[in-house]
Amino acid sequence: MSYDIVWEFRLPATRASEFEHAYGPRGPWVQLFRRAPGYIETQLLRDAEDAARYLTVDRWESRESFEAFRHRHRADYDALDQQLEGLATSETRLGAFEAIP
């Protein structure tokens, strides 16, 4: 079973390339997440019908793995979040989901 956190982002077309780099599989978020045991992967999805809408799915082995990461890397997480502030016009946490085996 995995613990998946889903975020929705909206952004102007002029920021798409920069956003895709920052939130994609080689971007700084993934580099930060990879420091933690229990991190599996991040998927970046662009809406096929609305190019201004993106989703990220951050997959962890368990909720405990994610919480341990947040506790251990809180300062780095907050600093990166602040550094990338304004890239998207909106950012909404859609929820945390557990995969059904």
Task: Give dist(CA 89, CA 12) in Å, integer.
Answer: 7
Cβ atoms of residues 23 and 31 within 8 Å:
no
Give dist(CA 99, CA 57) in Å, integer.
12
pTM for this entry: 0.92
Q: What is the pLDDT of residues 27-40, one digit of tens each?
A: 999 999 999 999 99
DSSP states of 5-27: EEEEEE--GGGHHHHHHHHSTTS
State the CB neighbour count (10 A cutoff) for residue 12. 11
Record the tokens describing residue 44, joined without a space: 């970046």
pLDDT in tens, 48-67: 999 999 999 999 999 999 99
73, 32 Cβ separation under 8 angstroms: yes
